[in-house]
Structure 1
Amino acid sequence: MTIQAVIFDIGNVLIEWQPERHYDAVIGEDRRKAMFAEVDLHGMNDVIDMGGPFRETIYETAEVYPKWRAEIRMWHDEWIKMASPAIPQSLNLLRALREKGVPVFALSNFGIESFAYAETQYPFLGEFDRRYISGHMQVIKPDPAIYEMVEQDCGLPPESLLFADDRVDNITAAQARGWQAHLFEGSDGWAEALVDHGLLSKADAGL
């Protein structure tokens, strides 16, 4: 079936999301590994992505692990340094699709407040035709419910949706719903996929 909408994940597709890299630079790899072994920071972030309060969730976790209090608080206080930089070619692809009249959606695990903050740093997050942000939906990928909610809202057949995400589990869940999907491992590969689907020319895709 012809693609009727292209759906972008945000973290590691449009914006790099690398907390471990930031901690390595600030506290060193050994301390980072020790902290992540003791504290489920990604699990904490899932609570935020499900709609939990941004600062409160992080600061409450920090109090549970006083040994790592200052470092855990960095997840909030230095969050934008973990969620950076933007991936220029992916942004160019988003805009090229829109110029061709292809509807472009976002589907991302993202907190309510952290996404609002990201919008102030990355104005292009306002360029999507539709945005599906997990914090507002109170469900996160790869839960099948979030994909079903997208289908119900946009009204498009699952097989007409092309989704790019950097996580295999999220891609697998989308494919189980009948979506077409691309595992994002770099913007060049995503550009080639969009060309292969006939959505962009090589010139449009920067290839």
Structure 2
Amino acid sequence: MRVVFDFGGVLFRWHPPSFLARVWPHRCPDEAAGADAAREFFTQYSGDWGAFDQGLIGPEAVIERIAARTGWPQVEVRAVVDAVPDELQAVPGTVRLIEAAQAAGHRTHYLSNMPGIYADYLERHYPLDRWFEGGIFSSRVRQSKPGAEIFALMEAQLGVPPQDIVFLDDHPANIEAAAARGWQALLFTTPEAAEQTLRVRGLLG
């Protein structure tokens, strides 16, 4: 079985409301304000940020576009873009889940919507080559979830029937897209809940 992990919100911490509350305390005094700002900043990962995810624009362009669209000063937008690597900290429970999947004989891979500068950062700072046989970053293939093209690319890389792919992602739209292709798609909430689901399905010892 191939077990495919998303990154942001699954293997790496990614919670925009609390992230913006930390980076922008003057604009986001609490997580509720952070959630409102996140909807405007990241536009549900479409628009400016979606192009950044797909590698169609770089950090300077995304900063300029967000500032122009929102009226927020470029220096403040840049502070958010620059702070993302500090937010992307590995989740210990998910690291253990990867190791448990490997111990059970499964082969592990990743499928992540990730701008190029952050993909480079994660490769430099984390043992991705130990955790995974391979994977796909959206910015390197100019496609992103939940689009069908990136799932097709993942299938080609794995070379197994769709029913032999287990996929963990925290976004319902991505889970729906994977399930529509016949993947075993599991909506991720916590590492503990994901481990329990995999055990119930007989995928972990």
Band of TM-score, shorter chain: 0.7 to 0.9
Per the alignment, residue 122 of structure 2 pairs with 118
8 A contact 2:110–2:132 mirrored in 1: yes
Residue-by-residue CA offset, 1:104-162 (whole Å, 9 max, x unaligned): 11011112221011222323465211211111121111111211111122211001111
User: What does 1:71-110 align with in structure 2 at a 5 Å threshold?
Assistant: 71-83=76-88, 85-110=89-114
Structure 1, unaligned stretches of length 5 or more?
202-207
How far apart are residue 36 of structure 1 and its match? 4.7
**1:1-207 map, 5 Å:** 4-28=1-25, 29=28, 32=34, 35-36=37-38, 39-40=41-42, 42-43=45-46, 44-61=48-65, 63-64=67-68, 65=70, 67-83=72-88, 85-124=89-128, 127-201=131-205
Could you tell me how far apart the structure 1 residues matched to 2:111 and 2:193 are? Answer: 19
- What TM-score, normalized by structure 1, do the two folds share? 0.84
Match of 1:189, SS state, is: helix
TM-score, length of structure 2 as denominator length: 0.85
Q: Which runs of 4+ in 1 moved over 4 A?
A: 30-41
Deviations 1:29-85 (A, max 9, x none): 2675675565555432211111134422333225525543222112322111332x3
Structure 2 CA distance for aligned equivalents of residues 135 and 176 of structure 1: 23
CA shift, 1:16, in A, is: 1.0
Q: Secondary structure at the match of 2:73?
A: helix
* Percent pairwise identity: 29
Q: Distance in 2 between matches of 1:190 and 1:67?
A: 38
In structure 2, distance between residues paired with 1:58 and 1:26: 18
- What is the letter of the counterpart of residue 49 of structure 2? N
Question: Aligned pair in 2 of structure 1 residues 178, 195: CA closer, same or farther (>3 Å)?
Answer: same
CA contact (8 A) 2:18 2:34 kept: no
Q: What code does the residue aligned with 1:82 have?
A: E
Question: Structure 1 residues 66, 104: CA separation in 2 closer, same or farther (over 3 Å shift)?
Answer: same
Task: Give the aligned CA root-mean-square deviation in angstroms.
Answer: 2.2
Q: How many residue pairs are counted as aligned between the two chains?
A: 197
Q: Distance in 2 between matches of 1:34 and 1:86?
A: 25
